[in-house]
Amino acid sequence: MSLPAVSRTAIGVARVRAAESARPEPLFTDPYAAAFVDAAGSDGAAPDPATLSDEQRRWRAGIAFHITVRTRFFDDYLRQAVAGGCGQVVLLGAGLDTRAFRFDWPVGVRWFELDLPDVLAFKQDVLEGVDAQARCERRALAADLAGDWAPDLGAAGFDPAVPTAWLAEGLLVYLDASTAAHVLTVATSVSAAGSRLAVERGDLAARVARTDAGDRPDEASRLWQGGLAGGVDEWLSAHGWRATEHDVTDVATSYGRQPPASARSGFVTASR
């Protein structure tokens, strides 16, 4: 199945996760990531390093480092959120996330994945092909996150009275500020007390989004629109969340990984 550009970025993330999973001492193990890359064919192929400039190679190495640390950080976030009382998980722009399959979840946890139809169809085909079994009550929903997606979520079994762990991993960067705020506004409107939310800090994306698309270092960054820029924590704090920033260098160091000198990103977690 050939995927459009914005969906091919999910293949790039899977490629990074497959590479990390093959390391002798990985920060995480995703046993399905390589299957996604293989199934994508040419869409999953990494560019020939010989065709890249030094700047592009440094950029790609930095992004791969960010994705690797991000995956582990959000692994920990979701497991802690569920252990702390969140009975529902919602992945906004789920991509090729496999946490519903990778971890054992408590009985009764409801898991919702929202993304574009082609991404979900590709993902389902690959997972069925390797006989993957979800370890929770998982539901995948084709959704336009720029629209009114809350009713569809409710129809699928989401209960706004139950504390929820929200995750927008690698999503807001591809949205403009208005759409990013809309997505978080809808999530906030159906978040019970005790809910949690995690996103990426947007300062790097904002800087890149201010440059001409043709001057950006790879296909993914040419699609970036900046999201809420560097103001994600401020937006959340202004809308009833208690937000905390986590710098990627500090997170990486806590995992025993040396961050590159160019690392300039991070994450935001919040609770209600």
Give the tens place of pLDDT for each residue, 151-178: 999 999 999 999 999 999 999 988 989 9
**Annotated domain spans of the chain:** 74-271
β 242-247/266-271 pair status: antiparallel
**What is the SS3 assignment for 140?**
strand
Residues of the chain predicted below pLDDT 50: none
Which pLDDT value is given to residue 45? 66
Which pLDDT value is given to residue 226? 72
Torsion angle of alpha carbons 41, 55, 230, 19, nearest 10°? 40
Long-range pairs of 80-87 with CB within 8 A, sequence gap ≥ 24: 81/165, 81/196, 82/106, 82/109, 82/165, 84/196, 85/163, 85/194, 86/163, 86/164, 86/165, 86/194, 86/195, 86/196, 87/162, 87/163, 87/164
CATH number of 74-271: 3.40.50.150
In angstroms, the CA 137 to CA 36 distance is: 22
* DSSP summary character for residue 215: G
Q: Over pLDDT 90: what percentage of the chain?
A: 71
